[in-house]
């Protein structure tokens, strides 16, 4: 399994003072030097963390792959088509949410999603859909032309260590099996940390995990190189 590090929280910290530090470009470099195989950023509609110029600089400076998380918004699509990240991950987005809540409802808006991602696919960008691990969402995703799904691991992460853990884990396992049967590649992320990530090894064929909060949090105590190295080691 590969490790994509989400560096949005580095930008959150920087924006708290409105200055230049900590530098997200340097953060991306450190992540890459310590085992990250891609750098993920979410260009949110309200630009609360990552800004347009961050993405424009990252695309020219990173040596791995830029994975741009984005909502179905025309202005962000325009930026993606212009800068051409390696991949985009389509996520639902609500202004009031603290972080991405729940997966994208692909089944309920199949035509809209299919049409939205078409120009991105045509321009050579790999497309991933961030969905809950549910059968109908996986089946719908397979009809859109997207190459990847990213399974939302938030419910599993919250249930970890409780009586619901197994139920939530099985949902991920089943969704991943179905997706691969339907020709999709499978990533996962959200809420994964140094305690719960080990079970991702039990899911056959997972390609990449996208992890942000736990790595940046640990970095406060250990430094970013050590935090990334440790997570990369755990998922390798
Ligand atoms: N994957 C997606 C699609 C996300 O929206 C997020 C959160 O921005 C993550 C992964 C990473 O989640 P976390 O910060 O909880 O590790």
Distance 41 CA to ligand 1 centre (A): 9
Which run of H or of E encompasses 3? strand 2-6
| 38 close to 85: Cβ distance less than 8 angstroms | no
Residue 71, both tokens = 């909502």
**Which atom of ligand 1 lies nearest, measured to the CA of 42?**
8
pLDDT-derived band at 173, boundaries 50, 70, 90:
very high
Mean pLDDT of 160-172: 98
Buried b (16+ CB within 10 A) or exposed e, 210-231: bbbbbbbebbeeeebeebbbeb
pLDDT-derived band at 149, boundaries 50, 70, 90:
very high
Position 100 scores a pLDDT of 67
C-alpha distance from residue 72 to each of 86, 119, 135, 186, 229 (Å) = 18, 12, 22, 20, 33
Question: How is domain 2-235 classified at the architecture level of CATH?
Answer: Alpha-Beta Barrel (3.20)
| 106 close to 113: Cβ distance less than 8 angstroms | yes
pLDDT tens for 35-87 read: 999 999 999 888 888 999 999 999 999 999 999 999 999 999 999 999 999 99
pLDDT-derived band at 97, boundaries 50, 70, 90:
low
- Can you tell me which residue has the tokens 């390696």? 86
Cα angle: 89, vertex 231, 195; to 5 degrees: 100
Q: Flag whether the pTM goes above 0.85.
A: yes
Distance 109 CA to ligand 1 centre (A): 22
Distance 190 CA to ligand 1 centre (A): 4
Q: Which residues line ligand 1 (CB under 6 A)?
A: 6, 8, 42, 69, 89, 91, 99-100, 130, 150, 189-192, 210-214
Residue 99 has pLDDT above 70, yes or no: no
Say whether 42 is catalytic. Answer: yes
């Amino acid at each position: 399994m590969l490790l994509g590090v989400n560096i949005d929280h580095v930008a959150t910290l920087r924006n708290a003072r409105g200055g230049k530090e900590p530098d997200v470009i340097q953060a991306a470099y450190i992540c890459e030097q310590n085992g990250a195989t891609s750098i993920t950023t979410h260009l949110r509609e309200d630009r609360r963390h990552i800004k347009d110029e961050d993405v424009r600089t990252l695309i020219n400076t990173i040596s791995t792959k830029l994975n741009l998380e984005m909502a179905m918004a025309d202005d962000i699509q325009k930026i993606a088509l212009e800068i051409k990240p390696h991949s985009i991950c389509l996520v639902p987005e609500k202004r009031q949410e603290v972080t991405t809540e729940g997966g994208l409802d692909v089944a309920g808006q199949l035509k809209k999603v299919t049409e939205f991602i078409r120009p991105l696919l045509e321009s050579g960008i790999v497309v991933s859909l961030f969905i809950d691990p549910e059968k109908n969402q996986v089946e719908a995703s397979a009809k859109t032309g997207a190459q990847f799904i990213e399974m939302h691991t938030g419910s599993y992460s919250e249930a970890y260590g409780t009586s619901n853990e197994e139920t939530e884990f099985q949902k991920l396992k089943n969704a991943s099996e179905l997706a691969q049967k339907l020709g999709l590649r499978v990533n996962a992320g959200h809420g994964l940390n140094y305690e719960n990530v080990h079970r991702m090894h039990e899911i056959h064929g997972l390609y990449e995990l996208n992890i942000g909060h736990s790595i940046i949090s640990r970095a406060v105590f250990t430094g970013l190189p050590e935090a990334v190295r440790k997570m990369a080691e755990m998922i390798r």
